[in-house]
Structure 1
Amino acid sequence: MTEKAAPPELTGWKKLAVDFGPLLIFFAAYSRFDIYVGTAAFMAATAIAMAAAWLLIRRIPAMTWFSALLVGVFGGLTLWLKDETFIKIKPTIVFLILSAILFFGLLRKRNYLKSILGTIYEGLTERGWELLAWRWAFFFLVLALLNEIFWRFFPTDIWLHFKLWGDTLLTFVFAIAQAPMLMRHGLKLDDKKKDDNGSQAED
């Protein structure tokens, strides 16, 4: 019985463009006009990013759907009610939902993080996956709290800079910081390289 092939994924600059392109458009439009024009541009850019994902891999990743849904809801409320609060709390809602999903899964003895990233961290033990899921669940709570602090107590310019650069950098640093734990729990970073080199030698 053959294993079902993993669905195609966006990688490299294509993934960065789809994931962060709309946010960069939001920042540029806000800087040139105001937050309402920025929000409209954000919504349009998100729709374009979804179309780009479909053209590139013939599917739209679940996280892209999730983000687009919230951008549509909170962006629409922002424009309709002329209240920038909605677009500012959108990241808080995203992080809280992600955290809740991970906590819910862990309490039910199901690791949703592994379901999504299983092909990335090959060789990681069940204990490693459990620790990683707990850490990301708490980290998303921290990001939600930070977003609340920045939009409530700082000007919009500061909040947007944090959203564009701050939580992106924090997420990158947090992900890198998990490497020692992952390696202690079975992740072998050299395995794939060895396999690739072996395949090339055979060819």
Structure 2
Amino acid sequence: MKKLLFDFLPLVLFFIALKVGDIYLATWVAIGAAIAQIIWLKLTNKNIEGSTWLSLFIIVIFGGATIYLKDETFIKWKPTVLYWLFGLILDFGKLLFNKNYIQTLMKSQITMPEIAWTKMNYSWAIFFIIVGLLNLYVAFSGHFTTDQWGTFKVFGTTILLIIFAVGQSLWLNKYMQIPDSSQKG
């Protein structure tokens, strides 16, 4: 639970800064929080996951462009680019390298047949592509303000993620076997 809160910290700080300031202050805060996360993980000798590095890279590039050019378009593209990269990594990892990254991340917690892992991998890839498209709609359709986009970015995508994860677990429940940690040896 601590890790989940730690991972969401830059997002929460972005939202708070957007509410008390503007998109440019929020962008500065998000960049600072992402850098501070990496520094903290380094100082505490914790593992820094590839997704954390990727997120830092994307926020620095798109956030930096937003601040430098004084154009919020770039920061609004950031979630879509990140989600699409996640989706493409899952797709191409499986298609080109026969590597299932979802299975790699979760195989110590769950045992499932290969077909279930493949379905899970592709469904997450599709989910990320769809959420990226939703972000573009909210950001650029003209139906929503920047403040509303920020709320969607923080709460809407998080709620969608939770709903999808719960749906995944219910749908794949017939395949899953959770290892019994009480039986050692």
- TM-score, structure 2 length as denominator? 0.90
Q: Which has the larger radius of gyration?
A: 1
Number of paired residues? 182
Inter-partner Cα distance in structure 2 for 1:133 and 1:64: 19
Inter-partner Cα distance in structure 2 for 1:61 and 1:110: 17
Residues 1:137 and 2:109 are matched in the alignment: no
Structure of higher RCO (CA pairs closer than 8 Å, 6+ residues apart): 2
Cα drift, residue 149 of structure 1? 0.5
Tell me the residue number matched to 2:106: 117
* Letter paired with 2:169: A
Residues 1:172 and 2:152 are matched in the alignment: no
Inter-partner Cα distance in structure 2 for 1:159 and 1:144: 13
Q: Does the 8 Å CA contact 2:103/2:117 hold for their aligned counterparts?
A: yes
Long gaps (5+) in structure 2: none
* Letter paired with 2:26: G
Q: Does the 8 Å CA contact 2:87/2:124 hold for their aligned counterparts?
A: yes
Inter-partner Cα distance in structure 1 for 2:109 and 2:38: 23
Superposition pairs for residues 1-203 of structure 1, below 5 Å? 12-13=1-2, 15-108=3-96, 109-121=98-110, 123-153=111-141, 154-185=144-175, 187-189=176-178, 191-192=179-180, 195-196=181-182, 198=183
Inter-partner Cα distance in structure 2 for 1:89 and 1:20: 19
Deviations 1:76-103 (A, max 9, x none): 1001000001011000001111111112
Q: Does the 8 Å CA contact 1:22/1:45 hold for their aligned counterparts?
A: yes
Inter-partner Cα distance in structure 2 for 1:141 and 1:170: 13
- TM-score, structure 1 length as denominator? 0.83
Deviations 1:30-85 (A, max 9, x none): 21111111101110011111222234453212111110010010011001000001
Q: Does the 8 Å CA contact 2:18/2:150 hold for their aligned counterparts?
A: no
* Letter paired with 1:72: V
**Which segment is superposed worse, 69-78 or 50-59?**
50-59
Where 1:176 maps in the other structure, the secondary structure is: helix
In angstroms, what is the RMSD of aligned CA positions?
1.8
Percent sequence identity is 35
Cα drift, residue 18 of structure 1? 2.4
Cα drift, residue 118 of structure 1? 2.4
